[in-house]
Amino acid sequence: MLEQQPAVISFSDVTQRFGDNVALSSITVDFLQGEFATIVGPSGCGKSTLLRLIAGLIIASDGQVRVDGREVIEPRSDVGFMFQRPTLLPWLSAVENVLLPVTLHRRPTASDRREAESLLATVGLAGSEARHPDHLSGGMQQRVALARLLMTGARILLLDEPFGAVDEFTREKLNFELLRIQRDTGATILLVTHSITEAVLMGDRVITMTPHPGRIGRVVGVDLGPDRDRSVLRSAAYLDAVNDVRDTFDTDRSAA
């Protein structure tokens, strides 16, 4: 049971300022080992800032962010980050892009290359190892970026709207691929999204955020089980959770 798992990421009364702008205010929340948590909210509520704090790309103005019990005070190599755009290097092939986390530290071995090829197969790109980004569709580029993220071997994966720029059909396929990967690896995954339906489909818990400044609204548990496929989209549990999350934002608007 996830509720019996320890917290691997903890926010304790975290406020984040950028000059005079308060991006996040008094954030206190834990993320559990092995959970798939989704973070949903309107633009400007600090969702991406939350991920950057975990990765150590920025340091909290006030309060503490801890990963594995240690305060985050610098970038962490054990946390993988996938951005909204694939950010592939155009002069490298798909497999060379996947190998980048290794190449930055040492010369890749034959074993590393086999692992990179295996990860490309895992995300559905077997046979595309030698292709360069300009010969890949947007969805295929995001698959390469996902394989590169997995190549880091990180136990904590942070995804900032990674499939927002691809078509709906491809996005759905990538979402189910990501669910399968999380189930197989046991990684702790945090996914930022604007979509309430995507947040519920993917998450064990949905963390809702409200803007100006960014705050935690509610934490909604989702009981859809570990083996999710398209059939869950028609289930009462899914529809109830979607309505529960929507009610959070409707209540916020009516109170404004």
- DSSP assignments along 231-243, one per residue: GGGGSHHHHHHHH
Whole-angstrom distance, CA of residue 172 vs CA of residue 53: 28
Assess contact for 7 and 30: CB atoms under 8 A. yes
Q: Which residue has the tokens 């985050």?
A: 72
> Which two tokens mark 154?
């990180």
Residue % of the chain over a pLDDT of 90: 66
Give yes or no for residue 27 having a pLDDT over 90: yes
| Confidence (pLDDT) at 251 | 64
**Mean pLDDT of the 154-164 span:** 90
**Higher-scoring residue by pLDDT: 2, 144:** 144
Instruction: Select, from the ranges 1-15, 77-91, 191-205, 224-238, the one with the highest average predicted confidence (pLDDT).
Output: 191-205
* pLDDT reading at 78 higher than 80: yes
For 25, list phi and psi in degrees, rounded to 5: -135, 125
What is residue 14's three-state secondary structure? strand
Which residue in 221, 230, 223 sits closest to 176, CA to CA? 230
Q: How confident is the model at residue 252 (pLDDT cuts 50, 70, 90)?
A: low
| 255 band by pLDDT with thresholds 50, 70 and 90 | very low
pLDDT band at 23 (very low <50, low <70, confident <90, very high): very high
Using the predicted structure, report yes or no on whether residue 56 has a pLDDT greater than 90.
Answer: yes
DSSP 8-state class, residue 8: E
Say how far apart CA 182 and CA 8 lie, in whole Å.
16
Please say if the pLDDT value at position 57 is more than 50.
yes
- Average pLDDT of every residue of the chain: 90
Cis peptide before 213 (omega within 30 of 0): yes
Give the Cα separation of 127 and 144 in Å (integer).
12
Give mean pLDDT, residues 9-24. 95
The DSSP 8-state label assigned to residue 230 in this structure reads G
Stretch 158-168: mean pLDDT, rounded?
Answer: 84
Closest CA to 214 of 27, 3, 60: 27
Q: What sign does the dihedral 244-248-250-251 (CA atoms) show?
A: positive
Q: Where are the domains of the chain?
A: 90-153
Name which of 62, 100, 95, 64 is nearest 80 in CA terms: 100
Per-residue confidence band for 2, with pLDDT thresholds at 50, 70 and 90: low
pLDDT category of residue 205 using cuts at 50, 70 and 90: very high
